[in-house]
Structure 1
Amino acid sequence: MSQPPPPPPPNQPPQQGGFGAPQDPPPQGGGFGAPQAPPPGGFGAPQNPPSGGFGAPQPPQPAQGPGYGYPQTPQPPQAPPTPPQPQYGYPQAPQAPQAPQGQPGYGYPGQQQPQYGYPQTMPMQPQPPQNGGGGGKFKLNGPMGIVIAAVAVVALIVGGGLMYANSNSDDDKNTSSGSSGGTGGKDGKDDKGDKGGSTDNGGGGTGTDTSHDTAQEKVPSSTSASVLFQVPSPEVKDKQIDSVAGSWLTDSVYAKSGVNAIVGYDPDNGSKKWTLPLQGETCAGSREVTQDGIAVVVTEAAKRNSKGDHQACTQVVAFDVNTGKQLWNKTAETQGTAVPFGEVTISGTTVAVGGGYYGGAAFELKSGKALWQPKTGKCEDVGYAGGDQLVAVRKCGDYGNEAYKVQLLDSKSGSVKWTYDLPKGIDNAKVISTNPVVFGVDSGDEISLSGASDVFSLDENGKLRVKITLPDTKYDHDCTIGKVYRCKGVTVGNDKLYVPTKEHDGTGEYSQTNEIIAFSLATGKPTGERIDAGDGYDLRPIRMDGPNILAYKDGPYDKGAQVVSIDAKSLKQTKLLETPSTESVRSAISGMVPKSAEMLYTSGRLFLGQDLVSKPYSKDEKEYTAIGFGAK
């Protein structure tokens, strides 16, 4: 198949108004379009419950196709569409043509799986806005529903940026993009013990199995939390959506991205401790903070002009969360031009960036020295997942005939330790855990709302252990389409996968509830462990805390939200924090859309953050990019 026209150089100014203009990615949960703010009046004003039930509206369930193994209605092969022009800042992925019938299935080792009719590369398109998970029901009533629906349309137009990785790198010769083999060195597990080793930042974490560790979170003397502070939203111009992606929490600082800056706050009272100016808006932030307080962001190359034109996301910036000091600011180049990226992660002493057109790159954490750069050819790294180990998702082949791989890398050299080849027709992988390596894919004829309808567990040698199927109709996790390392509401520990079910009717009148279900990573089957949210509550994992599951419980209309620690053996829930139950606080939490928010919890403090901001609907409304709660 012929190669599509290459994308324009990354430094070329974006086109205005059309599909060539770079866009922010759509919000991945709950709110339709721009993030919502609490009602006017702040936390003192009495409010009515939001229409359509509490929490953010959820998208409708897609039509469910036949499951694996059922006969599929053949579709005639289609000619590949003309690939769209790539967008800079937030790259888009083109739709891929359907593959011919007869590709092999996949599943448990040694088990022959039925073929899926016409396996095909999934069309990459904006994910429907959702409340952090897949397939909920719309609850849009009256005028507010019309407004939200209208904003959803705008958000899909304005924020529809997804990633397209250009197929122009060398043959895959058991090395990572730009790597030249290397002498090996410590693997990700050993790097964890390095002072530069990454920690989970109190949020989604690395997703690693920490069953051998001791739980760190202790029960405060009082679990009743108060509002610590709110971070006001920066002023946003009409019809613009600005990016404030990234938040980090240490013992002494809560840092949150603003527009063209990162600000460090005292986590107990919100007083500003430092401000770090940036060249442009943030495009991505590391999930990890190193043990000595280093985090990394990807930013646009320059500030947006008066029209709000996006700039290329080419700058990689490392900084000290505790002091606000910038350690270095680097770019990666190919053929003399700076390469844009959409994701960044830390593993050991390596910063890896991906999610662009030309492959991935890596830098040494402390110095910013380039470890490997993108290069041209037939293969490239789409993106990376860090933490305990460094995992790459790699793509080879021409447009319309791509093949994907999951690889474990030596984090210092980029050399490949093992490779797992994905079946034809799978267009990406979303890494849930790097140790053990667990990833999800979308399989079948339709993209699932979760972004990962099948989850694969690999052993330490990269061999398939099991496949776990998570249909949208039953489960409510969220793996962002087009991202390698952004799965929320799902975690790995104790050699198990913990995933929340969709909400269903509770025992009380009009009440809803759900559960967290555990799957064995050895057998692929449910273990029988069922963690009930309780009537009126919605329960979902935040991260592992040693062998315990740290989870967020969204409360009913007259209760506060909670953070709980769940004992992995007894399944007993211990409350660590509960937010105030006033209507104004509940409305503020709902406006943050917890299922999709940047959520960090450490040492009795809970922070919820937005990654996108827009102009309020009226002058009387107040917008916030973050809100913090504390229990003593």
Structure 2
Amino acid sequence: MPPPPHPTAPNGGGRKSNTTLAVLVASAVVIALIVGGVWYSQSGDEGGKDDTASSSGGTGGGDDDGTGGGGSVPAGSEKVPADASSQVLFQVPSPKVEDDTTVVVSGSWLTDKAYVKSGVAEIVGYDRDKGTELWKIPLPGPVCQASKHATEDHLTAIAFEPAMPTKAKPSNGCTQIAALDLDAGKKLWTKTAEVGGQPIRFDNITVSGGTVAAGGSSGGAAFDLESGKPLWIPKANEDCRDAGYAGGEKLVAVRRCGSYDSPQLHIQTIDPKSGKVNSEYKLAEGVEYASVLSTEPLVVAAEVGESQDAIGITDVFSIDNATGKLRIRISVPGDQFEARCSGVTRIESCTGIVVGNDRLYVETQEHDGGGEYGRTNEIVAFDLATGKQTGQRADAGDRYTITPLRMDGGNIIAYKRPPYDKGGQIVSIDGGTFKETKLLENPSVKTVRDVETRMSPQYSELLYSQGHLYMSSVYASELGNTADKRYLVIAFGTNG
């Protein structure tokens, strides 16, 4: 990755900047909570100096009833089946690739009718229950990035290579952007963008407000989702560049300024049609990469300083995206929590941590549980207004480990990774009471377990909806060519 240019101008990427510089005043208060025999500590921001930020910030009030800022949590849409026991609906074998090559197959979505998954240089729609192929979109090269967001009418976007990789040329550059209609099973348009006469290689892509936005080390570009009309592209020799974007309810840019040795990241909430900056928060100089956990509310993760245990995240910043002011900073050290982020290139790629009810729900590290060899963990909650732990805790149970996947209204949908003699589970955790309700439990048959346990939530894609669980790989390699059969997808479904 080429070094970022020298910092001076806040403008760039064809977008107007609305930068304000303020001073953050904060101090750290350490609060400890014993969870499952492990101590969890946190830093709360209650006045004083915080050396990790340079924008103004403050704290908000909040209650401790665990209901997400006062009142009851929103109802979820996931139905509780009469029988949570699942069966294998279908499996898709891992595609064969050339020896000594690994091909990205990231990207999966659910519509009312189809489960949609990237294959090797193709996007395929499968019947949700039977796994029969409904449609296929061929591509000239592999998908390298896929938006995790889609519109209500199931439009989304991908970035892909213009040709297949070979041993001599393992990458052709992630230069192509396409919009997909997942209902019709067709590609709407394909676009590229250039800066200084060279095609931009995109590291990430997202969708928000009818806009496709993709970023990389050369800057970011945006297109109208339906028509493909270019909305902005970077300019040559800019001092700041859009490293990437996060989508969903709002569009947020992670803008990189400064020298290679001392960068500064600007977290900007922007207008999805014009790119105009509506609010901005600056992380401290030297924080090299950031991930966006949520755009509404705006919650950002970063690895501050060097940490032996952390993987892309040591701290979480709760930001008011109307004003750009810091609400609170929360410490989630890697020796206590299992949250992971890939903010080096993929702005929205975090596991083990989700946002909802104005709360941060984080997976803890494994620790000793019941039994001679038992290991277990929990999900705990932080208030995004105060930074304090709420006291809510969801236990994985003896020999299981639990990972939050997403929100369902005010409830948390979580996956329980099983011990060697059980199948995995999907549970719904009430956002107020933290009561767990089992939605699905997979078969404990060894042949099924062997496939399921290869699809860990840290390194695979897991989608759950209405009694259906889809687990899929994000890479296809020569291992798929061997007699030890590997799978691209395994789908489970309940009977009730």
TM-score interval, normalised by the smaller of the two chains: 0.7 to 0.9
How many Å separate the matches in 2 of 1:178 and 1:257?
Answer: 35
Q: Structure 1 residue 455 and structure 2 residue 316: aligned?
A: yes
Q: Which residue matches 1:577? A: 440
How many Å separate the matches in 2 of 1:553 and 1:343?
Answer: 29
Q: Could you tell me how far 1:631 is from its partner in structure 2? A: 1.2
Q: Which residue matches 1:367? A: 227
Q: 8 Å contact 1:168–1:358 — kept in the other structure?
A: no
Q: Which residue matches 1:468? A: 330
Q: Structure 1 residue 627 and structure 2 residue 483: aligned?
A: no
Q: Which residue matches 2:127? A: 266
How many Å separate the matches in 2 of 1:174 and 1:238?
Answer: 42
- CA distances 1:201-236 after superposition (whole Å, capped 9, x unpaired): xxxxxxxxxx86431111123211111111111112
Q: State the AA in 1 paired with 2:330.
A: I
Q: State the AA in 2 paired with 1:594.
A: P
Are the structure 2 counterparts of residues 456 and 176 from structure 1 closer, same or farther at C-alpha, using a change threshold of 3 Å?
Answer: farther
How many Å separate the matches in 2 of 1:468 and 1:170?
Answer: 30
- CA distances 1:475-509 after superposition (whole Å, capped 9, x unpaired): 00111141221111110111110001111111222
Q: 8 Å contact 1:428–1:441 — kept in the other structure?
A: yes
Q: 8 Å contact 2:159–2:176 — kept in the other structure?
A: yes
Q: State the AA in 2 paired with 1:320.
A: D
* SS state at 1:565 partner: strand
Q: Structure 1 residue 279 and structure 2 residue 279: aligned?
A: no
Q: 8 Å contact 1:442–1:448 — kept in the other structure?
A: no
Q: 8 Å contact 2:12–2:235 — kept in the other structure?
A: no
Q: Which residue matches 2:85? A: 224
How many Å separate the matches in 1 of 2:233 and 2:6?
Answer: 14
Larger mean Cα displacement after TM superposition, 613-622 or 593-602:
613-622
**How do 1:10-89 residues align onto structure 2 when only pairs under 5 Å count?**
none
How many Å separate the matches in 1 of 2:77 and 2:311?
Answer: 30
* SS state at 2:294 partner: strand
Q: Which residue matches 2:217? A: 357
Q: Could you tell me how far 1:428 is from its partner in structure 2? A: 1.7
Q: Could you tell me how far 1:398 is from its partner in structure 2? A: 3.1
Q: Structure 1 residue 304 and structure 2 residue 165: aligned?
A: yes
Q: Where does structure 1 differ by over 6 angstroms across 4 or more consecutive aligned residues?
A: 178-181
* SS state at 2:414 partner: strand
Q: Structure 1 residue 422 and structure 2 residue 283: aligned?
A: yes
- CA distances 1:284-310 after superposition (whole Å, capped 9, x unpaired): 001012110112110002122464521
Q: Could you tell me how far 1:534 is from its partner in structure 2? A: 0.8
**How do 1:555-574 residues align onto structure 2 when only pairs under 5 Å count?**
555-574=418-437
Are the structure 2 counterparts of residues 631 and 308 from structure 1 closer, same or farther at C-alpha, using a change threshold of 3 Å?
Answer: farther
Q: State the AA in 2 paired with 1:525.
A: K
Q: Structure 1 residue 505 and structure 2 residue 365: aligned?
A: no
Q: Could you tell me how far 1:466 is from its partner in structure 2? A: 1.0
How many Å separate the matches in 1 of 2:323 and 2:373?
Answer: 49
**How do 1:18-417 residues align onto structure 2 when only pairs under 5 Å count?**
166-167=4-5, 171-173=9-11, 177=15, 213-305=74-166, 307=168, 309-354=170-215, 356-376=216-236, 377-417=238-278
Q: 8 Å contact 2:101–2:166 — kept in the other structure?
A: no
Structure 2 unmatched ranges of 5 or more? 20-71
* SS state at 1:484 partner: coil
- CA distances 1:53-111 after superposition (whole Å, capped 9, x unpaired): xxxxxxxxxxxxxxxxxxxxxxxxxxxxxxxxxxxxxxxxxxxxxxxxxxxxxxxxxxx
Larger mean Cα displacement after TM superposition, 382-391 or 302-311:
302-311
Structure with the higher strand share, 1 or 2: 2
Q: State the AA in 1 paired with 2:384.
A: L
* SS state at 2:479 partner: coil
Are the structure 2 counterparts of residues 497 and 281 from structure 1 closer, same or farther at C-alpha, using a change threshold of 3 Å?
Answer: same
Q: State the AA in 1 paired with 2:316.
A: V
Q: State the AA in 2 paired with 1:366.
A: E
Q: 8 Å contact 1:256–1:264 — kept in the other structure?
A: yes
Q: Could you tell me how far 1:348 is from its partner in structure 2? A: 1.5
- CA distances 1:38-65 after superposition (whole Å, capped 9, x unpaired): xxxxxxxxxxxxxxxxxxxxxxxxxxxx
Picking from 434, 440, 453, the partner of 1:590 is: 453
* SS state at 1:591 partner: coil
How many Å separate the matches in 2 of 1:308 and 1:173?
Answer: 36
Larger mean Cα displacement after TM superposition, 453-462 or 512-521:
453-462
Compute the TM-score of the two structures, normalised by the length of structure 1.
Answer: 0.67
- Percent of matched pairs sharing the same residue: 47
Are the structure 2 counterparts of residues 165 and 435 from structure 1 closer, same or farther at C-alpha, using a change threshold of 3 Å?
Answer: farther
- CA distances 1:581-610 after superposition (whole Å, capped 9, x unpaired): 111111111112233211111121111111
Q: Could you tell me how far 1:449 is from its partner in structure 2? A: 3.2
Q: 8 Å contact 1:178–1:361 — kept in the other structure?
A: no
Are the structure 2 counterparts of residues 446 and 511 from structure 1 closer, same or farther at C-alpha, using a change threshold of 3 Å?
Answer: closer
Are the structure 2 counterparts of residues 313 and 168 from structure 1 closer, same or farther at C-alpha, using a change threshold of 3 Å?
Answer: farther
Q: 8 Å contact 1:492–1:498 — kept in the other structure?
A: yes
Q: 8 Å contact 1:165–1:359 — kept in the other structure?
A: no
How many Å separate the matches in 2 of 1:521 and 1:417?
Answer: 21
Compute the TM-score of the two structures, normalised by the length of structure 2.
Answer: 0.85
Picking from 550, 554, 559, the partner of 2:417 is: 554
Structure 1 unmatched ranges of 5 or more? 1-162, 182-210
* SS state at 1:563 partner: strand
* SS state at 1:289 partner: coil
Number of residues of Structure 1 aligned to a counterpart in Structure 2? 441
Are the structure 2 counterparts of residues 362 and 448 from structure 1 closer, same or farther at C-alpha, using a change threshold of 3 Å?
Answer: farther
Q: Which residue matches 1:9? A: none
Q: Which residue matches 1:520? A: 383
Q: Structure 1 residue 479 and structure 2 residue 317: aligned?
A: no
Q: 8 Å contact 1:224–1:580 — kept in the other structure?
A: yes
How many Å separate the matches in 2 of 1:627 and 1:617?
Answer: 14
Q: Which residue matches 1:102? A: none
Q: Which residue matches 1:132? A: none
How many Å separate the matches in 1 of 2:209 and 2:117?
Answer: 23
Q: Could you tell me how far 1:365 is from its partner in structure 2? A: 0.8
Are the structure 2 counterparts of residues 594 and 375 from structure 1 closer, same or farther at C-alpha, using a change threshold of 3 Å?
Answer: same
